[in-house]
Copies of this chain bind each other. A is one copy, B any other.
């Protein structure tokens, strides 16, 4: 019963994954508007009609790529909130968890397009982003209450700066091109966010 759903269903999922993989690669490389459905179909090796069997619209295909990353980020935020330790540890956990792997690449890379492309998913996206930010704000407020975070700074400032830390461009330059070890990259990111660029006296 467990494995009987498969056979055809498995093939279907495999194929869908092939599509998603190739689409992600191309979308990241050339941007939403410069990748055609033809191009994706050809690259995957299926007919264009097949794409539409899996994703009714181009928008849906792209969103199928963005959604799990957004949700993954959200669940990381939830995990961070539950993480044992103070607010600093929680944010470090989140940093560690999402800075590796695919993290926010897509969202940020296409951030400007987010609103223009995913019109049908506008509310859904807004919903998830709200939860993400409110989760981060919770942690930040906790930190403020505990006196470890600057009480003067609005959490919106902090969270926005925090999200900017995930900017994939820098990651690529440092980790991929210059081969900076990931843990060093994460450490620098943490220092930057927690202490700023001033010469510090302490930190951990």
Interface residues of A (CB under 8 A from B): 30-31, 33-34, 108-113, 115-116, 140, 143, 147-154, 156-158, 160-161, 164-165, 167, 169-170, 173-174, 180, 188-189, 191-201, 203
Contacts and interface: CB of A to CB of B under 8 A. Distances in A.
A198 B150 contact: yes
Number of copies: 4
Given A151-B199, A154-B188, A164-B167, 6 more contacts: A110-B112, A140-B197, A150-B199, A153-B192, A156-B170, A161-B161
B194 A196 contact: yes
Closest 4 CB pairs of A and B: A196-B196, A164-B164, A31-B116, A195-B196
A66 to B, nearest CB: 13
A136 B14 CA distance: 47
A42 B165 CA distance: 41
Contacts of A201: 201
Nearest to A151: B199
B197 A153 contact: yes
Nearest to A185: B157
A145 to B, nearest CB: 11
A194 B193 CA distance: 9
17 contacts: A30-B116, A31-B112, A31-B116, A111-B112, A112-B112, A113-B113, A140-B197, A150-B198, A150-B200, A151-B199, A152-B188, A154-B174, A160-B167, A164-B167, A193-B196, A195-B196, A198-B203
A169 B129 CA distance: 14
